[in-house]
């Protein structure tokens, strides 16, 4: 017998029992042939031979084996379903059902196993990936045999999901409201914008910039700037509430991916008013004293004039009040000013003890911090009622003079238009009258009438009667000569005829303008 058989089996020389004395492994040797010799004790001994065939029955004593053949890692999150991630081979040294292996994956992973060849499996993508949701998967592959007491083995595959630039930077809210006081120093930090990109590495690197546009006649970049990395917004120059109450613009956030993705946020910067404008007087009160004439007979409460002022600021900074101040050395003034109206009126009936010239100082102040003021000076002259001019003040006289000039111009223009229109209508009427005029009925047919013009008047002659032809009221005029169509014109020499025609033309022209 071979040494292998002697190491695994024992033959009892007396009773012939064959027993196992070593480890028998089906996976090493599936069967053994044992040569047996039997001999008696005679002389000479007689022998015989036989062969014992020992078949090893397999037991499920081997677990399956898993081998990861290849990996395609990391996996882009944009990979399509069906993409092969890894190739896995499985084996089991047992036989029959004990060597039949099935593989499975850990639950709730976007992968699946596809058996492409015997004992080979492909790990493929089953559903879309999203790195921002799960950036790494630990996939556990389990191989289990078909034995009655099945054995199993596992292998773990770490699948890393690679980022693609599929997310734009996002701001916490689409719009921000910022309040900035006017007259801010140049370079004042007014706000910080911040956007988050869910991607990774350069795809999440965000830079900020202004969305350029024009604000009035100037570019937005002349008012504000934004730091590209930090997102800090700075005012480049002092802002003026009176010039710009609201500055609305957009800041863009873009990542460094390819292609780059971005989004915008709107900033509404309200410029808060500061009390940096003093009240401004309107009308004749601005810059010089104004004279007013007041009759001594006016009653109490008579409105003398009104001080008008405006303030370029807003809110309380533009809320104006008026205060009458007494000049040095003057007594109690018979005037008052409306606190918020600016109307100057009398407080009582004027009398002879009141000075004929009153100097009023009206202080106009706003309600800002600090308070800014302006002063209007009013010179009031008290006159007797009989000496009161038609206009109470020089300003009103000048205004009335300008209005009168405008009225005169309008009157002249209307008169000229009416005159031209009347002349045109009169000319048309005269033309129609001359065209439609016929001989008088008294002459009768066949009795021509001669009408001539002479230096002594206008006369006519017919066979029936003599008549005078006048152009209008008053003495006769040498302005017309007419000939009947059936009568030859009066015989005159050429010089007289020319003079006569000239007289006719002139007379006709004069008649057009005669009343």
DSSP-derived 3-state class of residue 347 = coil
Instruction: Name residues whose C-beta falls within 8 Å of residue 349's C-beta, 6 or more positions apart in sequence.
Output: 298, 299, 300
Query: What confidence score (pLDDT) does residue 387 get?
Result: 57
264-267's contacts with Cβ under 8 Å and 24+ in sequence apart are 264/211, 265/171, 265/173, 265/174, 265/175, 265/176, 265/193, 265/195, 266/174, 266/175, 266/176, 267/175, 267/176, 267/178, 267/191, 267/193, 267/233
Q: What is the dihedral of CA 254, 255, 260, 262, to 10 degrees?
A: -30
What is 50-91 written as a DSSP string? EEEEEEPPP-S----EEEEEEE--SEETTPPTT-EEEEEEEE
What is the β-pairing status of strands 321-325 and 357-365? antiparallel
Burial class of residue 66 (count of CB atoms within 10 Å of its CB; 0-12, 13-18, 19+): buried
For residue 488, give the DSSP letter: P
Q: CA 183, CA 486: separation in Å to the nearest integer?
A: 101
Number of residues written out for the chain: 515
What average pLDDT does the chain have? 81
Query: What confidence score (pLDDT) does residue 489 get?
Result: 45
Strand partners, 218: 215
Instruction: Give residue-wise pLDDT tens across range 140-198.
Output: 999 999 888 889 999 999 999 999 999 999 999 999 999 999 999 999 999 999 999 99
Tell me what the mean pLDDT of segment 440-448 comes to.
45
108 vs 171, more confident: 171
Q: CA 4, CA 16: separation in Å to the nearest integer?
A: 19
236 vs 485, more confident: 236
* Residues 257 and 165: beta-carbon distance below 8 Å: yes
CA 140 vs CA 120, 160, 512: distances in Å: 16, 14, 122
Instruction: Give residue-wise pLDDT tens across range 6-39.
Output: 888 888 888 889 999 888 888 888 888 988 889 8
The pLDDT-based confidence of 112 (bands split at 50, 70, 90) is very high
Tell me what the mean pLDDT of segment 302-324 comes to.
93
Query: What confidence score (pLDDT) does residue 79 get?
Result: 94
**Nearest to 255, CA basis, from 192, 208, 193:** 208
Does the structure show a pLDDT above 90 at 248?
A: yes
The pLDDT-based confidence of 58 (bands split at 50, 70, 90) is confident
Q: Look up tokens 């008012």; give the residue.
A: 223
Query: What confidence score (pLDDT) does residue 183 get?
Result: 95
What is the β-pairing status of strands 373-383 and 290-295? parallel
Among the residue ranges 287-291, 327-331, 403-407, the one predicted with the least confidence is 403-407
2 vs 92, more confident: 92
């Amino acid at each position: 017998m071979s040494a292998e058989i002697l190491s695994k089996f024992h033959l009892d020389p007396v009773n012939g029992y064959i027993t196992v004395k070593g480890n028998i492994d089906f996976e090493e040797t599936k069967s053994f042939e044992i040569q047996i010799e039997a001999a008696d004790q005679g002389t000479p001994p007689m022998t015989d031979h036989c062969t014992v065939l020992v078949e090893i029955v397999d037991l499920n004593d081997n677990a399956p084996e898993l081998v990861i053949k290849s990996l395609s890692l990391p996996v882009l999150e944009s990979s399509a379903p069906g993409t092969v991630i890894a190739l896995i081979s499985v084996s089991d040294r047992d036989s029959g059902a004990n060597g039949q292996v099935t593989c499975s994956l850990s639950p709730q992973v976007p992968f699946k196993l596809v058996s492409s060849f015997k004992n080979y499996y492909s790990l493929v993508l089953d559903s879309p990936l999203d790195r921002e949701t799960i950036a790494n998967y630990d996939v556990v592959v389990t191989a289990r045999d078909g034995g009655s007491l099945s054995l199993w083995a596992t292998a773990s595959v770490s699948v890393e999901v690679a980022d693609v630039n599929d997310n734009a930077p996002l701001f916490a809210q689409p719009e921000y409201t910022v309040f900035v006081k006017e007259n801010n120093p140049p370079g004042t930090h007014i706000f910080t914008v911040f956007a988050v990109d869910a991607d990774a590495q350069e795809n999440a690197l965000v830079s900020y910039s202004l969305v350029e546009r024009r604000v009035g006649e100037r570019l937005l970049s002349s008012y504000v700037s934004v730091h590209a990395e930090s997102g800090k917004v700075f005012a480049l120059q002092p802002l003026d509430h009176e010039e710009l109450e609201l500055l609305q613009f957009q800041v863009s956030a873009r990542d460094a991916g390819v292609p780059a993705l971005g989004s915008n946020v709107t900033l509404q910067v309200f410029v808060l008013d500061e009390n940096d404008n003093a009240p401004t007087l309107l009308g004749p009160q601005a810059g010089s004293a104004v004279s007013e004439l007041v009759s001594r007979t006016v009653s109490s409460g008579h409105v003398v004039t009104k001080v008008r002022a405006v303030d370029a600021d807003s809110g309380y900074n533009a809320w104006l009040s008026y205060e009458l101040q007494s000049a040095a050395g003057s007594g109690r003034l018979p005037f008052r000013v409306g606190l918020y109206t600016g109307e100057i009126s009398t407080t009582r009936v004027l009398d002879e003890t009141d000075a004929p010239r009153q100097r009023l100082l009206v202080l106009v102040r706003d309600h800002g911090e600090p308070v800014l003021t302006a002063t209007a000076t009013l010179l009031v002259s008290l006159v007797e009622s009989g000496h009161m001019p038609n206009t109470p003040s020089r300003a009103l006289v000048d205004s009335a003079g300008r209005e009168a000039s405008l009225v005169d111009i309008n009157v002249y223009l209307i008169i000229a238009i009416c005159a031209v229109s009347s002349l045109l209508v009169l000319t048309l009427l005269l033309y129609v009258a001359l065209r439609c005029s016929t001989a008088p009925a008294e002459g009768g047919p066949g009795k021509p009438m001669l009408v001539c013009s002479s230096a002594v008047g206008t006369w006519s002659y017919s066979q029936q009667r003599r008549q005078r032809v006048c152009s209008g009221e008053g003495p006769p005029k040498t302005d017309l000569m007419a000939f009947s169509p059936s009568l030859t014109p009066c015989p005159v020499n050429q010089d007289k005829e020319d003079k006569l025609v000239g007289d006719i033309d002139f007379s006709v022209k004069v008649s057009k303008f005669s009343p």
